């Protein structure tokens, strides 16, 4: 129904998941006249969040990272959100709903967006303590608490996931991130049976098994028993598993109970029955998302739910809307493994042909399903490398631009026959938000969008799962929009190009570089970038490698200029290096004495070091002297350089450790200390697959195996966290170090300014495969050069703190006042909080110490 102008009607949305949220956003975005007032009645106690990314919650245990924009509708007077008050009664005659608290709400239009519930097979013992489902933040909190309790009681950690589909592997990832060794039990003969075929399932099983996940396929769970703190799961094939907890993640069922109980029709296999416009048989009552059965069929993905939400919003605002069917294609990274499928995965179309390239060595499986004349693409499966997904998926049902085999395995390793230009305008680039190539091209050519960010803002493409973002860059290129890689207005070159210029010409100063290859005098962007390049290349081009030598000192930003981190209130923090987190009691006592004597605030960092806060500029050399004399050195916490190599205690102490992780971490940290780079570098070494050093969250992470070391690269935390990808397995120590040498030097040479390793690899043509070819197979013939550069860096390393202490000219820089050396800065003052001093900040209210 369409409300009359000026007379607000009430839309009631039952459920507050991602699809319900999309409906509210769509209505509010287009209802400029305020014709609808929206009331959202939510069962959960928190605003809606990104359930698709639920597994990432186990990375940080910070629920704010899953929040959706405007989830609480703050400041919108036309949206009322009632949390923790589920609807219990629906009266379609009176047009009211009643909640559990007794609140009655009238409606003019009612939308069911109740989602789905986890399916728990009727296994004996499924309701015992220690059995969980995997659906909400609260579910993960409960699983985590059980895992931690079991570890404290039993000293070992293993978990079982019932279900080897998409949700099951997501749950296995979460368990592994909690430090458990997961078992996955799947009734079908392969993992992800709905999305991939036998060949892809076989490779996925092998790749997953390499990541400390034990897979049991072709069998069911017969019963679960509990004996004190132990749980035993008996499988149909006779296997008995001794586990700490069980997670059921065997699919979902539509939550149609409320509608069913109040007389609405449901589909034969469940779901609120609606027509192609998402209408029920009851006037002005709709259903969307996983609870809806559109003409009898339910869809368990968020993209079809979003489409339903847009359709209902259109009808509420007086337009027509019909569900066009769903794109069930998926592209995922499960346990660090790329998996994608699209179209007719199982070649069920009459006469369909399959073209397969299965490369067991590189760990990739690619299949295209084509028509009987091999000219039309019907579907496909990609495992291990899904980089072609964004180009292939929009071609489903269309003519292929090249022979299928040449697309999957181009001759000579060249790019295949599919490019963005081959896609028709109506091809859907962003399936989450149903944005076509034509709409994106219009935004670029007619609306002036010249960056990926501006395309996102104009079209919403790339704002969902993000898998289509690389395509947006390619469309910009296709439309002739040149995407600048210039460092800044003073240099037209990219950082990588400037690196090669300095390397080739042996230019030793910024002033010479800008006079010969740039314009103007430079800025706060290019000066530190060039300073980093000069510092990295100093051993190779024969210049002083101390960053405060000569003109170098004037190029540095504040932190590098004082070899310490500037903090609030104008003071600095000092972080001595503690390689691998290992430190002697004597050095600990020196740090404690320095902190006491200089009145410094002390804090242990997440990188296994000790941070000393509150030092003034003139105190820095005095503090360094005490630390250097005790055998310590700069930890480079202030620099775009290697920060830390975190470690667990490894085989030296831990009964699960299989390699000396501490020894390896110390060797790596001492090897790469002081290496200047485009961004900070963090690393970790774990002594076993339980991953206590969180190596997969680091720029490079090393995990011990029975046969050596697994090397993961391209992980990072921050605003856009990434899990590192497996580069190589079971390396001996010598090969491991050589591979890391090349990885770091290649990154230093080719990355953009302030680009972490994760986006560097993501934006690299060919991605991880290309990186592996360059540094492990020497495809570019540069490995000898990379090896020599790292050897030169290691041989020429010198502690920057000691370099200042031994040079009177450099020492003279460390004074609060040039004309009064040693005089205290009157603008700096402190107060006491929790028995330590903290800065007093102008304009900031003082917090009472607790």
The structure tokens 């990188």 sit at 607
Distance of alpha carbon 274 from alpha carbon 267, whole angstroms: 9
Ramachandran category for residue 798: left, alpha or beta (phi over 0 → left; psi -120 to 50 → alpha): beta
Parallel, antiparallel or unpaired: strands 610-615 and 214-217: unpaired
The H-or-E segment that residue 233 falls in is strand 230-235
Contacts of 756 (CB under 8 A, 6+ apart): 679, 680, 699, 716, 718
How is 501-534 classified by DSSP, letter by letter? HHHHH----HHHHHHHH--SS--TTHHHHHHHHH
The H-or-E segment that residue 540 falls in is helix 526-541
The structure tokens 């490698």 sit at 545
Distance of alpha carbon 449 from alpha carbon 454, whole angstroms: 5
Half-sphere exposure of 322 (CA within 13 A, CB side): 1
The H-or-E segment that residue 234 falls in is strand 230-235
Q: Which of 623, 747, 583, 599 is nearest to 678 (CA)?
A: 747
The H-or-E segment that residue 445 falls in is helix 437-445
Contacts of 478 (CB under 8 A, 6+ apart): 420, 421, 441
Q: Which two tokens stand for residue 31?
A: 């209802």
Distance of alpha carbon 388 from alpha carbon 408, whole angstroms: 9
Q: Check whether 783 is labelled as a binding-site residue.
A: no
Q: Which of 384, 344, 350 is nearest to 206 (CA)?
A: 384
Distance of alpha carbon 540 from alpha carbon 676, whole angstroms: 14
Distance of alpha carbon 802 from alpha carbon 634, whole angstroms: 9
Distance of alpha carbon 714 from alpha carbon 762, whole angstroms: 9
Q: Which of 591, 598, 645, 596 is nearest to 619 (CA)?
A: 598
CB 227 within 8 A of CB 397: no
Going from the C-alpha of 550 to that of each of 158, 462, 546, 677, 810, the distances in angstroms are 58, 46, 9, 21, 9
How is 180-229 classified by DSSP, letter by letter? -EEEEEESSSSSSTTTS-HHHHHHHHHHHHTTT-EEEES--EEEEEEETT
How is 360-392 classified by DSSP, letter by letter? TTTTEEEEEEE-TTS-BEEEEEEES--TTHHHH
Distance of alpha carbon 229 from alpha carbon 245, whole angstroms: 10
Paired strand residues for 247 = 132, 161
Rg (CA), the chain: 30
Backbone angles phi, psi at 391, to 5 degrees: -90, -35
**Within 10 Å of residue 82's Cβ, how many Cβ atoms?**
16
The conformation of residue 459, written as its DSSP 8-state character, comes to H
Distance of alpha carbon 546 from alpha carbon 552, whole angstroms: 8
Q: Check whether 688 is labelled as a binding-site residue.
A: yes
Contacts of 818 (CB under 8 A, 6+ apart): none
Taking each helix axis as running N to C, give the angle between helix 469-478 and helix 452-459, from 0 to 180 degrees, rounded to the nearest 10.
110
Q: Check whether 692 is labelled as a binding-site residue.
A: yes
The conformation of residue 395, written as its DSSP 8-state character, comes to G
Q: Check whether 648 is labelled as a binding-site residue.
A: yes
As annotated, the binding site includes 648, 654, 688, 692
**Which residues carry a binding-site annotation for [4Fe-4S] cluster?**
648, 654, 688, 692
Residues contributing to the annotated binding site for siroheme:
692
């Amino acid at each position: 129904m369409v409300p009359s102008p000026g007379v607000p009607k009430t839309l009631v949305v039952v459920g507050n998941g991602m699809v319900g949220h999309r409906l509210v956003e769509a209505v509010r975005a287009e209802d400029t006249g305020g014709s609808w007032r929206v009331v959202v009645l939510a069962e959960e106690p928190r605003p809606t969040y990104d359930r698709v990314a639920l597994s990432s919650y186990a990375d940080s245990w910070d629920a704010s990272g899953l929040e959706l924009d405007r989830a609480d509708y703050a400041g919108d007077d036309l949206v009322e959100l009632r949390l923790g008050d589920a609807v219990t009664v629906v009266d379609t005659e009176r047009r009211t709903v009643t909640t559990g608290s007794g609140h009655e709400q009238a409606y003019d239009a009612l939308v069911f967006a109740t989602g789905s519930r986890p399916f728990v097979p009727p296994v004996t013992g499924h309701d015992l303590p220690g059995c969980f489902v995997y659906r909400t933040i609260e579910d993960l909190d409960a699983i985590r608490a059980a895992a931690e309790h079991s570890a404290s009681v039993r000293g070992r950690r293993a978990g079982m996931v019932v279900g080897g589909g998409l949700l099951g592997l997501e749950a296995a990832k979460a368990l592994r991130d909690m430090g458990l060794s997961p078992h996955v039990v799947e009734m079908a003969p392969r993992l992800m049976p709905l999305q991939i075929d036998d060949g892809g399932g076989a490779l996925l099983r092998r790749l997953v098994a390499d990541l400390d996940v034990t897979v049991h396929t072709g069998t069911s769970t017969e019963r679960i028993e509990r004996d004190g703190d132990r749980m035993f799961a008996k499988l149909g094939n006779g296997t008995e598993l001794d586990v700490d907890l069980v997670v059921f993640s065997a699919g979902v069922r539509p939550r149609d109970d409320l509608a069913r109980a109040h007389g609405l029709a449901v589909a034969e296999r469940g779901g609120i029955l609606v027509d192609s416009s998402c209408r029920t048989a009851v006037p002005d009552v709709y259903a969307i998302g996983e609870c809806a059965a559109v003409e009898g069929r339910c869809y368990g993905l968020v993209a079809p739910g979003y489409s339903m939400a847009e359709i209902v919003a259109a009808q509420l605002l007086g337009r027509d809307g019909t569900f066009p069917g769903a794109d069930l294609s998926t592209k995922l990274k499960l346990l660090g493994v790329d998996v994608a499928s699209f179209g007719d995965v199982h070649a069920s179309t009459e006469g369909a042909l399959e073209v397969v390239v299965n490369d067991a060595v590189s760990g990739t499986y690619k299949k295209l399903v084509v028509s009987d004349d091999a000219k039309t693409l019907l579907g496909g499966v990609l495992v291990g490398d899904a980089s072609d997904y964004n180009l292939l998926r929009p071609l489903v049902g269309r003519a292929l631009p090249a022979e299928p085999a040449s697309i999957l395995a181009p001759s000579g390793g060249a790019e295949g026959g599919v490019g963005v230009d081959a896609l028709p305008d109506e091809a859907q680039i962003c399936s989450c938000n149903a944005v076509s190539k034509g709409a994106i091209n219009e935004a670029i050519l007619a609306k002036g969008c010249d960056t990926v960010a501006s395309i996102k803002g104009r079209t919403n493409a790339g704002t969902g799962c993000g898998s289509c973002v690389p395509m947006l860059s390619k469309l910009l290129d296709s439309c002739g929009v040149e995407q600048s890689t210039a460092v800044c207005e003073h240099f037209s070159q990219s950082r990588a190009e400037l690196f090669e210029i300095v390397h080739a010409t042996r230019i030793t100063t910024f002033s010479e570089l800008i006079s010969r290859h740039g314009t103007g005098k430079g800025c706060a962007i290019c000066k530190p970038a060039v300073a980093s390049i000069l510092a990295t290349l100093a051993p190779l081009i024969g210049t002083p490698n101390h960053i405060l030598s000569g003109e170098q000192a004037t190029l540095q930003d504040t932190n590098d200029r004082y070899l310490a981190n500037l903090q609030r209130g104008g003071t600095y923090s000092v972080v001595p290096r503690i390689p691998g987190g290992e430190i002697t009691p004597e050095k600990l006592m020196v740090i404690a004495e320095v902190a006491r004597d200089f009145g410094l605030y002390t804090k242990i960092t997440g990188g296994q070091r000790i941070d000393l806060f509150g030092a003034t500029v003139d105190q820095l050399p005095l503090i360094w002297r005490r630390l250097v004399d005790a055998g310590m050195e700069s930890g480079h916490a202030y620099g775009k350089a290697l920060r830390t190599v975190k470690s667990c205690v490894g085989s030296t102490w831990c009964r699960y450790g299989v390699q000396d992780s501490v020894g390896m971490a110390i060797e790596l940290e001492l090897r790469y200390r002081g290496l200047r780079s485009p961004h900070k570098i963090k690393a970790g070494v774990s002594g076993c697959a339980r991953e206590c050093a969180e190596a997969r969250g680091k720029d490079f992470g090393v995990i011990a195996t029975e046969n050596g070391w697994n090397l993961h690269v391209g992980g990072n935390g921050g605003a856009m966290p990434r899990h590192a990808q497996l580069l190589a397995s079971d390396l001996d120590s010598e090969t491991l170090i050589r591979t890391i040498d090349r990885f770091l030097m290649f990154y230093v040479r080719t990355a953009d300014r302030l680009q972490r390793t994760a986006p560097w690899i993501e934006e690299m043509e060919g991605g991880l495969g290309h990186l592996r070819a360059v540094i492990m197979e020497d495809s570019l013939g540069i490995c000898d050069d990379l090896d020599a550069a790292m050897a030169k860096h290691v041989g020429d390393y010198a502690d920057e703190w000691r370099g200042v202490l031994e040079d009177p000219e450099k020492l003279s820089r460390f004074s609060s006042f040039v004309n009064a050396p040693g005089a205290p800065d009157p603008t700096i003052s402190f107060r006491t909080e929790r028995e330590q001093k903290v800065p007093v900040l102008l304009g900031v209210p003082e917090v009472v110490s607790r």
